[in-house]
């Protein structure tokens, strides 16, 4: 891998981590707001 490859990999990983974390929080937001019942929560898992 060239130097540029490492750099691009690093920036892409940073972006993916940020997006994934925000997305994960958004998913939890939705679950909390919908006020799922326990059975639904179990099925979702």
Partner 1 sequence: MISLARPAVNALGLLTLVALFVLAVLALGVVPPDAVQGDAQRLMYVHVPAAWLAYLAFFVTAVSSALYLWPRTRQPGWDLLAGSSAEIGVIFTGLTLVLGSLWGRPVWGAWWVWDARLVTTAVLFFLYLGYLALRRVPADPDVRARRAAIAALIAFVDVPIVHFSVNWWRTLHQEATVFNPDLDAQIEGSMAWTLLFAVVAFTLAYGYLMARRVQLARLEEGREERELDAAIAARVASGSERTDLEDRVPGEGTGKGNIGDPAVAGAGEHR
Cα four-point dihedral sign 29, 32, 36, 42 = positive
How many residues of this chain bind partner 1 (CB under 8 A)? 26
19 touching partner 1, by CB under 8 A: no
Residues 6+ apart with CB under 8 A from 9: 1
Minimum CB distance to partner 1 smaller for 35 or for 43: 35
Can you give the binding site for partner 1, defined by CB under 8 A?
A: 1, 3-4, 6-7, 9-11, 13-14, 17-18, 21-22, 25-26, 28-30, 32-33, 35, 37-38, 41-42
């Amino acid at each position: 891998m060239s130097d540029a490859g490492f750099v691009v990999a690093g920036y892409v990983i940073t972006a993916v981590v940020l997006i994934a974390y925000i997305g994960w929080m958004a998913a939890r937001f939705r679950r909390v707001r919908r006020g799922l019942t326990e059975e639904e929560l179990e099925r979702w898992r």
